[in-house]
Structures are given as structure tokens and as C-alpha cells.
């Protein structure tokens, strides 16, 4: 008898591996380019200010340099504008997510994904590289480009989650998506490495490297990605060695499967795994895409969206502010702070994978999230009192990332996929990209608001109050999904009693 692990892996083909890797590295490259902007802010600020405040500029007089760049009189103005660009990007990204999810469910996911990757790469090249090569600096151009960049990047996440949802059934999805959702953290690490490697030649080359890699990734996706098993004539059977998260009859069917087909158009599966569809089958009718309001009203979408808004606010605050906090609060060098901040991403990678695996074996997601978020509140208290020791700080950072980044990854990937192909849809409508866009879009609005609140609280009350704010937001995440937690715990209790009576 084969082991459960072998049975679990046997259901997958090389097509699944290709889909996993292409979607994974698509978002890695996107997040690497997003991280690049954060890593080169100091250099950009120096370039936009007069040479009297910028020792790296050529030997022009301050007035001459000011006339040439014509942006800001001092670094404070440049820094403020960079913060405005962050807010502009996050809000446009959030608005775009609501639209791109709907578009992704109505068009070929491969086209939308490739367009978002290549279009965003071109915008980043113009923003960071071309304007510097041409020595052309304009506030309104930068704002317009960053709004466009946010809209284009918003097309990527709903599409990659939808593709993964099509290829991987609900059984084992927590583990698979937990491992796959490390793509954002891996992208952060890659972006920091690439930017630091070429920054000595000028910040424009950091944008050049990441934008070229992202554009190349978009081209590879366009020619190499299969968005659904149907494109190669595969079907997905529900039985695997892991218990399904929900016991509904269609919980393992891919998003794009049709239950209400004509007789004689059945797919043939061999042994519960994937086989080639028989050649005499009639083409199936394409499922109808669900409306935006319908998707918002699906069970669980609104609670998880609001919970993710609070959680992403905390998660992205660490993303944007952690190196700054480490440098200012502990007096460590910027390079040391950058390297130390990576441990938060490492904790998130491990947390998302392990917690996803636990949720698969438990058969429920919400209780796992609740426990992790409760422990995250304790981890935030502990990290706020971190000693000025880099080893201890790294350990506390990894722990905090485990309990915050893990649930964040689960909601944005595995849970979004669960919501997008739940029983209420009855397999007749496509909703995965739309639901993912709603969840991540709402989360991005929270993250955008959070960046302003963090800076305001820090300037008025200090960093300790910022951590209290994080704790409150984490608690709000639990409150929003509390009804789902109670419902799933009750279901687990009924199942346990039923099994006891059977014995």
C-alpha cells in the first residue's frame, strides 16, 4: 500500500509543477520590482534635491542643480513626496484589484496576467530608468506613472491565484498554497538583493534590472502558462489522501468544471487521478462569470475581506517601515537593518506553509487563523520590548512574521481560493479571480490607510504606540471572522460526536 504522501503527490503531473513555478515566479518578479522602489528611496531623494544637500551630485552650484532638477528644495520635501507615491500606488492598486478580478473571470487569465506583468515593467522602466537617463523630472509625470503602475500590478495577483485554484483541488490546498504564497516574501528578498547589487552604479540600474526581468517573465508566462487542466484535457477527481476542508460533494472540482453537462459528455478519470479526456467528447459550455456584487455577497467574502484589511495594514507596515524602525530605534546601520528585516519574511514563509498544512489536516481554516492571530498579539508585545541585540531581534522578528505573515498568506491565497469555488456557486460560475480581487483589494485599502496612520502615530506618540495600534488591528481581524470561527468549531464538535457515536 502506498503511503499517504505518495498518494497525495501521485495526483499531480508535470503540468501542475509548471503552473506552480510560473505563477510563483511571476509574483516573485513583481514583488522584487515593488521592493526595489523602497530600497532606492534614499538615492532618489538625493537626486531630486539641490547639490548643496546632495554630496553625490556632480559639482554644480546649488542653484544650477536646482534649476536642472526643479523638484524639491530639501530632502524633507522629497521624502514626503515619496510617501505620497506609496499612498497613490496602494490606493490605485486597491481600486485595480476590484476591477482586474472581474476582468480575469471574463477573459483568458494568461492574457491578463501577461499584460499586467509586461505593462508594469514598462512603466517602472520609464519611471526609474528612462527619466533619469533623459534627466527629465516632473512630479505630475511620476504621479501618473505610479497610478498606472498600481492599476497594472493589480492584474497579477487575482490571476495567479485563479490559475492555482484551477490546477489544485481543495484537498491539500492549505499546504500547497501556503508554500506557494511565499512568493511575495521571496520577491522581497530578491528585490533587496538585486537593488543592493547595482545601486552603486545608480538607482536607475536597479529599476532597469528588475523591470527587464519582470518583462521577460511576462513573455514566458504568455507563451508557457496553461491556465486550467482543461487546456490539456485533464480532469480532477476529488479523492486524495488528505481530508477535504469541507465535505461538500464538489469541493475538489476545479473552478472551471461544469456539473450541469449533457449526458455522454463525462470526463474519464483513472484511479482518482488525472487522465486525458476522450476524443469523442463534445466541447463543454464555458462557465458564466459571476457579478461583482454577487461575489461580494458570497458567504465568508465580506468577513475575510475586512479581517484582511486589518491584517494587511499590519503586514505592510512591517514591509514599509521595519528597516526604518530598526535603524532609528536601535541606531544600526542601514545595511544591517535591511539584512535583519529579512527575518520577518522568513517567518512568514514558514508560517504560511505550516499553518496551511495544519488547516488541511484539521479540515478547517478559521480556527487555525484565530490561534495564530492570538499568538501574534503576544508576539507583537514581545517584539515591542526587543533588546538591542541583533540575534534576539531576529528571533523575535521571525516569530512575529510566523504568526502575522502566515495568516496573511493564508487569507490572500488558500482561503480566497476556497471562497471563489465554494458550494454556493454549484460549479456553474467563475468567481475565483473576482473574489481574490475583492479580498486583496479591501486589504490594500487597509494597507494604504495604515501607512498614513503609522507615520502619524509615530510622529505624535512614538513607536510603542505604533505597536499598540498593530495589536488592536490584529485583534480586529479576529473579531471580523469570529462568526466563522464559531461555526467551524461547532462543525468540528459535531463531527467528533458523530464519530464517537459510530464507535
Number of domains into which the chain is organized: 2
Residues 224 and 334 in one domain: no
Q: What is the pLDDT of residue 263?
A: 39
pLDDT band at 135 (very low <50, low <70, confident <90, very high): confident
Residues 214 and 345 in one domain: no
Whether pLDDT at 270 is above 50: no
Residues 220 and 317 in one domain: no
The Cα–Cα gap between 261 and 264 comes to 9
Q: What is the pLDDT of residue 11?
A: 63
Q: What is the pLDDT of residue 9?
A: 54
Q: Cα separations (Å) of 339 from 39, 233, 350?
A: 12, 46, 18
Instruction: Name the grid cell of 284.
Output: 463543454
Q: Are 402 and 350 in contact (CB under 8 A)?
A: yes
Q: Is residue 136 part of a domain?
A: yes
Condensed to tens digits (0 to 9), the pLDDT of residues 424-474 reads: 665 545 666 778 788 888 888 888 888 778 877 887 888 899 899 999 999
Condensed to tens digits (0 to 9), the pLDDT of residues 360-381 reads: 788 788 888 899 999 999 999 9
What CATH number is associated with residue 327? 1.20.1250.20
Q: Is residue 255 part of a domain?
A: no
Q: Of 160, 194, 229, which residue sits at a domain end?
A: 229
Q: Are 332 and 325 in contact (CB under 8 A)?
A: no
Does the reported pTM lie above 0.85?
A: no
**Mean pLDDT within 227-242:** 60
Q: Is residue 121 part of a domain?
A: yes
Which range marks the domain in which residue 87 is found? 12-50+70-168+184-229
Q: What is the pLDDT of residue 269?
A: 42
Max mean pLDDT range (39-48, 187-196, 290-299): 187-196
CA 289 to chain centre: 23
Residues 442 and 309 in one domain: yes
Residues 328 and 470 in one domain: yes
Residues 302 and 206 in one domain: no
Residues 207 and 296 in one domain: no
Q: What is the pLDDT of residue 53?
A: 46
Residues 314 and 448 in one domain: yes
DSSP bridge partners of 288: 429
Whether pLDDT at 90 is above 70: yes
Q: Is residue 429 part of a domain?
A: yes
**Mean pLDDT within 196-216:** 89
Condensed to tens digits (0 to 9), the pLDDT of residues 443-453 reads: 888 888 887 78
**Mean pLDDT within 160-164:** 86
Q: Is residue 338 part of a domain?
A: yes
Q: What is the pLDDT of residue 170?
A: 62
Q: Is residue 268 part of a domain?
A: no
Residues 123 and 206 in one domain: yes
**Mean pLDDT within 24-35:** 90
Whether pLDDT at 121 is above 60: yes
Residues 192 and 309 in one domain: no
Q: What is the pLDDT of residue 496?
A: 80
Whether pLDDT at 273 is above 80: no
Q: Is residue 37 part of a domain?
A: yes
Three-state SS string over 219-265 comes to HHHHHHCCCCHHHHCECCCCCCCCCCCCCCCCCCCCCCCCCCCCCCC
Residues 212 and 339 in one domain: no
Q: Is residue 466 part of a domain?
A: yes
Q: Are 11 and 272 in contact (CB under 8 A)?
A: yes
**Mean pLDDT within 176-183:** 82
Residues 305 and 431 in one domain: yes
Amino acid at each position: 500500500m502506498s503511503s499517504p504522501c505518495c498518494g497525495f503527490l501521485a495526483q499531480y503531473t508535470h503540468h501542475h509543477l509548471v503552473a506552480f513555478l510560473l505563477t510563483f515566479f511571476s509574483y516573485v518578479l513583481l514583488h522584487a520590482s515593488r521592493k526595489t522602489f523602497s530600497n532606492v528611496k534614499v538615492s532618489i531623494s538625493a537626486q531630486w534635491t539641490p547639490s548643496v544637500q546632495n554630496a553625490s551630485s556632480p559639482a554644480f552650484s546649488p542653484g544650477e542643480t536646482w534649476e536642472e532638477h526643479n523638484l524639491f528644495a530639501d530632502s524633507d520635501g522629497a521624502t514626503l513626496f515619496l510617501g505620497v507615491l506609496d499612498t497613490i500606488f496602494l490606493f490605485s492598486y486597491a481600486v485595480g484589484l476590484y476591477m482586474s478580478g472581474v476582468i480575469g473571470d471574463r477573459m483568458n487569465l494568461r492574457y491578463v496576467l501577461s499584460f499586467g506583468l509586461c505593462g508594469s515593467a514598462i512603466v517602472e522602466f520609464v519611471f526609474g530608468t528612462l527619466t533619469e537617463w533623459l534627466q527629465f523630472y516632473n512630479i505630475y509625470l511620476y504621479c501618473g506613472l505610479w497610478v498606472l503602475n498600481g492599476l497594472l500590478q493589480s492584474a497579477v495577483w487575482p490571476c495567479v491565484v485563479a490559475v492555482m485554484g484551477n490546477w489544485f483541488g481543495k484537498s491539500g490546498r492549505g499546504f500547497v498554497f501556503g508554500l506557494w504564497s511565499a512568493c511575495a516574501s521571496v520577491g522581497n528578498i530578491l528585490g533587496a538583493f538585486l537593488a543592493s547589487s547595482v545601486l552603486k552604479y545608480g538607482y536607475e540600474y536597479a529599476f532597469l534590472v528588475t523591470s527587464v526581468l519582470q518583462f521577460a517573465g511576462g513573455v514566458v508566462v504568455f507563451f508557457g502558462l496553461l491556465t486550467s487542466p482543461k487546456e490539456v484535457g485533464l480532469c480532477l477527481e476529488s479523492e486524495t489522501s488528505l481530508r477535504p476542508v469541507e465535505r461538500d460533494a464538489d469541493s475538489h472540482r476545479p473552478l472551471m468544471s461544469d456539473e450541469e453537462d449533457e449526458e455522454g459528455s463525462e470526463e474519464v478519470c483513472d484511479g482518482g487521478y488525472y487522465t486525458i479526456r476522450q476524443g469523442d467528447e463534445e466541447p463543454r459550455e464555458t462557465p458564466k462569470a459571476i457579478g461583482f456584487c454577487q461575489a461580494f455577497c458570497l458567504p465568508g467574502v465580506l468577513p475575510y475581506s475586512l479581517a484582511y484589511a486589518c491584517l494587511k495594514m499590519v503586514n505592510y507596515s512591517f514591509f514599509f517601515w521595519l528597516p526604518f524602525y530598526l535603524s532609528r530605534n536601535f541606531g544600526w546601520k542601514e545595511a544591517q537593518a535591511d539584512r535583519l528585516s529579512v527575518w520577518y519574511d522568513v517567518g512568514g514563509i514558514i508560517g504560511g506553509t505550516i499553518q496551511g498544512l495544519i488547516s488541511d489536516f484539521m479540515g478547517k481554516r478559521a480556527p487555525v487563523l484565530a490561534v495564530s492571530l492570538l499568538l501574534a498579539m503576544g508576539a507583537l508585545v514581545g517584539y515591542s520590548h526587543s533588546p538591542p541585540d541583533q540575534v534576539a531581534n531576529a528571533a523575535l522578528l521571525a516569530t512575529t512574521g510566523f504568526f502575522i505573515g502566515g495568516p496573511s498568506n493564508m487569507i490572500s491565497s488558500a482561503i480566497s481560493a476556497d471562497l471563489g469555488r465554494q458550494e454556493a456557486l454549484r460549479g456553474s460560475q467563475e468567481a475565483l479571480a473576482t473574489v481574490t480581487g475583492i479580498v486583496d483589494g479591501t486589504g490594500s485599502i487597509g494597507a494604504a490607510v495604515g501607512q498614513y496612520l503609522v507615520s502619524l502615530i509615530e510622529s505624535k506618540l512614538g513607536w510603542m504606540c505604533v505597536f499598540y495600534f498593530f495589536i488592536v488591528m490584529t485583534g480586529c481581524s479576529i473579531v471580523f471572522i469570529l462568526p466563522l470561527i464559531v461555526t467551524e468549531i461547532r462543525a468540528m464538535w459535531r463531527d467528533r460526536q458523530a464519530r464517537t457515536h459510530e464507535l
